[in-house]
A and B are shown apart, each in its own frame.
Chain A
Amino acid sequence: MLIPLLGLIIGVMLGFVLPIDLPTSYTSYMSVALLAALDSVFGGVRADLEHKFDSHIFISGFFGNTLIAAFLAYLGDRLGIPLYYAAIFTFGTRLFQNFAIIRRIALNKLQEKYKH
């Protein structure tokens, strides 16, 4: 569980060091993409804990979800349909579900550890 956290910290530091600046008009698309990315990672952690992790599904899911979420938000803005609500709802719900399952697995592991 520590390696992903380490990666996150490295990423944050890289973000501060690298001179990447997102145009302010793209913030709403970025936020949806970020949510999709977080959902993918939670899904990945869950699959890892369930020993069902497949790197192809994980990587393709990450990039696919992120790009589609950002694209849908953009398309929604152009068409006047707030499609990003759909992305936020879907990914948000899944995020909580995945977290609930991760929590259950982790608690089970802890219980088994202390039984023996």
Chain B
Amino acid sequence: MNKSKGRVEIAMICIIIGIMIVMQTKSINNLGGLVTTQRADQMLIELNQMKRENDRLQNNVITLENDISFFENEASSNNAVVEKMLRDVDAAKDQAGFTDLEGPGIIITLDYKDSDGYDPFQANSVLLLFLVNELNAAGAEAISINGERIINSSEIRLAGSHININGKKNSYPYTFNVIGNTSTLKSAVNMRDGILDIMESNYINVEVEESEKITVFKYNGTINFKYAKPIK
């Protein structure tokens, strides 16, 4: 019968479509889970905001450094000025990441438990950057990864089989010490389809811990601007 013949062919094609659907879902999972376009747009906006904020802070640091040299010149003549200068220097150092800081916040531990030779951090090293980005967007005041303070010139990039942070080699487990509003930070990273969901879909073990007292150590390098000169 003509009618049933058509259905058999449709069924055969449906088998092929079924295989295609499974292949597609498999490879999308391999890509690192589904990232909706809305989420991508949102992250782009966050990234741009971060860039602007970074520029502003960098300008702040430059002005403060100018202030320091100005106060140093004044120091010999006026003691009150010296005091104010010292306070300003300390505040500037806190913001720039040159002092050890302490406060409430969260500790995020990222690990990979299986010993099959696969390194999810090597495959998706950008996820660490995304996490820092999310934390900064959620108002984190100080972040360190495995004791490396994240400052505005810190890099997080795959170099060979390690991830370089502040020019130093790191491998998993990664411990993020974050000072900030505990509940805001937690909800920002635990958001549905958020950064920790993405990490878990990339086989990364995630543990988030709240703490009343977290220490974030200072940045151990120096910043020297060779090319950038403040505009007077």
Q: What residues of chain A have their CB less than 8 Å away from a CB belonging to chain B?
A: 3-16, 18, 20-24, 26-27, 30-31, 33-34, 37-38, 40-41, 44-45, 47-48, 51, 53, 55, 58-59, 62
Given A7-B10, A55-B6, A58-B6, CB of A30 within 8 Å of CB of B20: yes
Cβ–Cβ < 8 Å partners of B2 in chain A: 51, 53
Q: Which residue of B lies closest to A9 (CB)?
A: B18
Cβ–Cβ < 8 Å partners of B23 in chain A: 15, 20-22, 30
Cβ–Cβ < 8 Å partners of A45 in chain B: 10
In the complex, the answer to whether B21 meets A11 with C-beta atoms within 8 Å is yes
In the complex, the answer to whether B21 meets A12 with C-beta atoms within 8 Å is yes
- The contact of B17 among A21, A26, A34, by CB within 8 Å, is A34
Q: Is B19 part of the binding interface, using a Cβ–Cβ cutoff of 8 Å?
A: yes
Cβ–Cβ < 8 Å partners of B24 in chain A: 22, 27, 30-31, 34
A62 to B26, CA, bound (A): 23
Interface residue tally on B, bucketed by range: 20 to 34
Binary CB contact string for chain B from 1 to 24 against chain A (1 if under 8 A, 0 otherwise): 011011111111111111111111
Q: What residues of chain B have their CB less than 8 Å away from a CB belonging to chain A?
A: 2-3, 5-24, 26-28, 30-31
Which 4 A-B pairs rank lowest in CB-CB distance, beginning with the nearest? A11-B18, A15-B22, A7-B11, A7-B14
Q: Given contacts A11-B22, A15-B20, could you give 9 more A-B pairs where the C-beta distance is less than 8 Å?
A: A4-B10, A4-B11, A11-B19, A15-B19, A15-B22, A16-B22, A30-B27, A48-B7, A58-B13
A53 to B4, CA, bound (A): 10
For the complex, would chain B's binding face be called helix, strand, loop or mixed by DSSP majority?
Answer: helix
Could you pull out 6 A-B pairs where Cβ atoms are within 8 angstroms? A4-B11, A15-B20, A24-B30, A44-B6, A53-B3, A55-B6
Tell me the smallest distance from the CB of A55 to a CB of chain B, in Å. 5
A57 to B17, CA, bound (A): 18
- The contact of A44 among B13, B15, B16, B20, by CB within 8 Å, is B13
A11 to B24, CA, bound (A): 13
Q: Which residue of A lies closest to B19 (CB)?
A: A15
- The contact of B16 among A5, A11, A30, A58, by CB within 8 Å, is A11
Cβ–Cβ < 8 Å partners of A10 in chain B: 15, 18
